[in-house]
Amino acid sequence: MSNPYYITTPIYYVNDKPHIGHAYTSLACDVMCRFQKLARHDTYFLTGTDEHGQKIEQAAAKNNITPQQLVDRFSQNFKCLAKIFNIEHDDFIRTTEPRHKQAVQLFWQRLQERQAIYLDKYSGWYAVRDEAFYTDKQIETTDKGEKVAIASGAPVEWVEEESYFFRLSDYQERLLQYYQNNPDFIMPSTRRNEVTSFVKSGLKDLSISRTSFSWGVPVPNDDKHIMYVWLDALFNYVSALGYGTDDDANYQRYWPANLHMVGKDIVIFHAVYWPAMLMAAELPLPKRIFAHGWWTNEGQKISKSLGNVIDPLQLLETYGLDQTRYFLMREVSFGQDGDFSHEAMVRRSNSDLANDLGNLCQRSLTMLVKHCDSEIKIGDIGDDVLDNALLERAHNLYQAVYEEMQEQAFHKALATIFAMVSETNRYIDCKAPWVLRKTDLERMQQVLSIIAEIIRRVAILLQPFMPDAAGKILDMLNIAPDARDFTAFDEQLADGHRINPPVIIFPRFEAENAPTE
Ligand code: ME8
């Protein structure tokens, strides 16, 4: 297979239980990766957990366990989350694994050899919750007299210690030049503008080691220091590919990554620090950083202290896996913030899935089975305007969806697919095969077969979003497993092909059944 395609999620902190926000990023990557796979790319999908740093050390102390015990326990939760959301990753990296630690130490040495690192003293603000350094301008004092980071609200503390520094300030102009030459490097454009002004406002050298705690990767030849958790974490994208080992075939094949998918909270780390470090190490830069928006719950920020963390497991149990996957990818313009509400979830699922798609399959395929002996017969397409318009539109559907997916516009891709579904519902209403049954059986079979053909195309395109449901539709249509990728998109159902009896795929929800939280 040609065309390598490498996609990554952020590696998640293990001090917290996974919630819907984590599921969202992983889901977006899964959809993207499945799409590329169906387009016959040689895909590689990485996710994992970020297991070092002061935050983890503190969380372990609070729970009276060692950091290692904590990370072993909680990392498992993220593996489970991926499993229940049907996330098909190829590798799951943990930063406490020897393979990662060795590689990140090599990276450090590589930076050092290129004079990108020097030893000095750091004094400034640090927020453990964000694992980030802040300048005076980036903090404020709350009504209660507490000093917090303006961007995140995380409490900051004053830190003074010996530290290694990365010469970030050397990269200001090169980064700006890079953003200009590669307009698709940071997406969406609002984030690109935000990052550009951050860099324009001036970059200071970055403290990249700590001495006041010990849960981290030791700095080579100076193990009084441990590496700053973000340098450690960012390198996971490379270390997971076997960089610097005898078996670096994956690194050779897949680096640089095509897409680092992240939330907007961590775009600066990915679009400023990470490319600067790679430039300094003379390693290739990832092709795109996409920073998506933030989910709130019924209008409120999702937070443990507010007690409104949406439990992904409960969501799946209430609404079903593919309904939830569909809702998350369809409801909000990808890149913008979004609000989760049970009402919206029920509305989307009922209107798009149960009514539009579900009904279309039910009413057309049931008739095909009952009245046409399950047999497809499209025959010759004459000059009926509606037949031709519908088939023409179906023919163009792949290209339209493909272009939207290249921009990570998942919501638009789905809107395009579902506009096709609506059009097909209008077609069936207009052609009224239930009337044709009494007047023209041959024409009825042709109309129903055309609809089955459209359903086949729709289901092929829906596979990345709703793998199980789309798979069931393709099963109903009796499509062979090797005829389900995008190369089969333009192959038409052959006359004489027999379909299977349809089953109900999307049940309707009664709004009052939705849990009230
Ligand atoms: O930042 N809405 O890990 P993290 C949307 N370890 N997405 C959300 C979200 C929400 N309400 N809450 C979380 C870290 N996310 C670092 C990353 S990478 C080298 C190191 C998602 O556990 C979103 O993708 O805090 C966000 O960027 C990520 O979880 C933060 O995960």
SS3 string, 471-500, reads HHHHHHCCCCHHHCCHHHCCCCCCCCCECC
Tokens representing 487 are 């190369």
Task: Report pLDDT for 297.
Answer: 83
From 217, 262, 264, 408, mutation site for ligand 1 pocket: most ligand atoms within 8 A of C-beta: 262
Between helices 410-431 and 385-406, what is the axis angle to 10°? Answer: 170
Phi, psi of 10 (to 5 degrees): -65, 155
Mean pLDDT for 122-133 is 91
What is the rounded CA–CA span in Å between residue 183 and residue 175?
Answer: 12
Task: Report pLDDT for 517.
Answer: 39
What is the rounded CA–CA span in Å between residue 243 and residue 237?
Answer: 10
Task: Report pLDDT for 302.
Answer: 78
Say if ligand 1 is within 6 A of residue 13 CB. yes
Cα of 35 to ligand 1 centre, how many Å? 23
Cα of 296 to ligand 1 centre, how many Å? 13
Residue among 436, 451, 439, 434 nearest 377 (CA): 451
Please, are residues 126 and 138 in contact by the beta-carbon 8 Å criterion?
no
Mean pLDDT for 46-50 is 98
Mean pLDDT for 88-105 is 98
pLDDT digits (tens, 9 = 90+) for 209-257: 999 999 999 999 999 999 999 999 999 999 999 999 999 999 999 999 9
Dihedral over Cα of 105, 107, 108, 109: its sign: positive
What is the rounded CA–CA span in Å between residue 512 and residue 114?
Answer: 63
> Measuring from atom 13 of ligand 1, which residue has the nearest CA?
21
Say if ligand 1 is within 6 A of residue 12 CB. yes
Mean pLDDT for 387-415 is 98
Task: Report pLDDT for 516.
Answer: 41
Say if ligand 1 is within 6 A of residue 78 CB. no
Phi, psi of 209 (to 5 degrees): -150, 160
Task: Return the bridge partners of 95, or none.
Answer: none
Listed in sequence order, the DSSP H helices in 332-431 are: 342-348, 359-371, 385-406, 410-431
Cα of 146 to ligand 1 centre, how many Å? 25
Cα of 263 to ligand 1 centre, how many Å? 6
Q: Which atom of ligand 1 is nearest to the CA of 50?
A: 6
Peptide linkage before 501 cis (omega within 30 of 0): no
- The answer, yes or no, to whether residue 309 has pLDDT greater than 80, is no
Please, are residues 71 and 51 in contact by the beta-carbon 8 Å criterion?
yes
Percentage of the chain surpassing pLDDT 70?
98
> Measuring from atom 26 of ligand 1, which residue has the nearest CA?
263
Task: Report pLDDT for 515.
Answer: 46
Between helices 467-476 and 321-330, what is the axis angle to 10°? Answer: 110
Cα of 227 to ligand 1 centre, how many Å? 21
- The answer, yes or no, to whether residue 436 has pLDDT greater than 60, is yes
Percentage of the chain surpassing pLDDT 90?
91
Mean pLDDT for 153-165 is 94
Say if ligand 1 is within 6 A of residue 10 CB. yes
On average, the pLDDT of the chain sits at: 95
Strands 186-187 and 289-292: what pairing? parallel
Please, are residues 204 and 168 in contact by the beta-carbon 8 Å criterion?
yes
Cα of 30 to ligand 1 centre, how many Å? 16
What is the rounded CA–CA span in Å between residue 77 and residue 89?
Answer: 15
- Maximum Cα interatomic distance, the chain, rounded to a whole number of Å: 89
Mean pLDDT for 2-18 is 92
Mean pLDDT for 382-408 is 97
Say if ligand 1 is within 6 A of residue 25 CB. yes
Peptide linkage before 256 cis (omega within 30 of 0): yes
Task: Report pLDDT for 16.
Answer: 79
Tell me which DSSP letter residue 358 carries.
I
- The answer, yes or no, to whether residue 455 has pLDDT greater than 60, is yes
Say if ligand 1 is within 6 A of residue 233 CB. yes
Residue among 448, 440, 288 nearest 363 (CA): 448
> Measuring from atom 15 of ligand 1, which residue has the nearest CA?
21
Say if ligand 1 is within 6 A of residue 198 CB. no
- The answer, yes or no, to whether residue 304 has pLDDT greater than 90, is no
Mean pLDDT for 395-412 is 98
DSSP-derived 3-state class of residue 220 = coil
Task: Report pLDDT for 510.
Answer: 84
Task: Report pLDDT for 1.
Answer: 59
Please, are residues 315 and 20 in contact by the beta-carbon 8 Å criterion?
yes
Cα of 13 to ligand 1 centre, how many Å? 8
The backbone region for 233, taken as left when phi is positive above 0, alpha when psi lies in -120 to 50, beta otherwise, is: alpha
> Measuring from atom 29 of ligand 1, which residue has the nearest CA?
22
- The answer, yes or no, to whether residue 512 has pLDDT greater than 70, is no
Mean pLDDT for 288-298 is 93
Radius of gyration of the chain from its Cα atoms, rounded to whole angstroms:
26
Say how far residue 235 (Cα) sits from the centre of its chain.
19
Please, are residues 255 and 295 in contact by the beta-carbon 8 Å criterion?
no
Task: Report pLDDT for 17.
Answer: 85
Pick the range with the lowest mean pLDDT from 151-155, 196-200, 350-354, 449-453: 151-155
Pick the range with the lowest mean pLDDT from 125-139, 346-360, 492-506: 125-139
**Token pair 């004053």 is at which residue?**
158
pLDDT band at 310 (very low <50, low <70, confident <90, very high): confident
Strands 295-297 and 338-340: what pairing? parallel
Tokens representing 451 are 């609809």
**CA separation, residue 412 to residues 216, 295, 416 (Å):** 42, 18, 6
Say if ligand 1 is within 6 A of residue 294 CB. yes
